[in-house]
Amino acid sequence: MHHIESGKVVQFHYILRNGEGEILDDSRQHGEPMVYLHGAGNMIRGVEQQLQGHPEGAVLAFDVPPELGYGHRRGPAMPFPRHVLPEDMDLTVGTTFTTQGRDGRPMVLWVTKVEGDQVWLDPHHPLAGTTLHYAVEVTSIRDATLDELSKGHPLAGN
């Protein structure tokens, strides 16, 4: 029997709730379980830490604090004039896009508000500052292929 460790491709179903018990996401609503390569940075640290060592079929409930999830908020979303953004950009609230951060690394921004010619962009994940409450069922564990290990993520069809 496989146990979750680095180099394993793991599939699991989950229900994610916030502190008020509100369901934020349910993998069964999407039909397919979550799939990731354990130890490759594909999953938030707190989930990987909680899943480490468990066998296929494990049913778990655990909390992930912000520092092991999406981090803490460090300030509010910032307004930008619409004209500084690409004309063809989708500015629907909740839209994400990637830009280059000050340090040269990719940075994801979320559109949180659009009002007139102002667009509020937030560098924090919408769940930043939130303790995440997971209910998880590990549905399968397998060895990653050499190709998956070299690419750092599971490949479709394997």
Mean pLDDT value of segment 27-46: 94
Mean pLDDT in the chain?
Answer: 92
Which two structure tokens, joined as six digits, stand for 95? 């839209």
| pLDDT one-digit tens code per residue, 46-100 | 999 999 999 999 999 999 999 999 999 988 899 999 988 888 888 889 888 888 8
Q: Given a cut of 90, is residue 101 above it in pLDDT?
A: no
Q: How far apart are CA 141 and CA 138, in angstroms?
A: 8
| HEC letters along 28-69 | HHHCCCEEEECCCCCCCHHHHHHHCCCECCCEEEEEECHHHC
Tell how strand 59-64 and strand 34-37 pair up. unpaired
Using a cut of 0.75, tell me whether the model's pTM lies above it.
yes
| pLDDT one-digit tens code per residue, 126-148 | 899 999 999 999 999 999 999 99
pLDDT band at 158 (very low <50, low <70, confident <90, very high): low
**Region class of 75: left (phi > 0), else alpha (psi between -120 and 50), else beta:** left
pLDDT band at 153 (very low <50, low <70, confident <90, very high): very high
pLDDT band at 36 (very low <50, low <70, confident <90, very high): very high
Structural domains in the chain plus CATH codes? 8-70+127-151 (3.10.50.40), 78-122 (2.40.10.330)
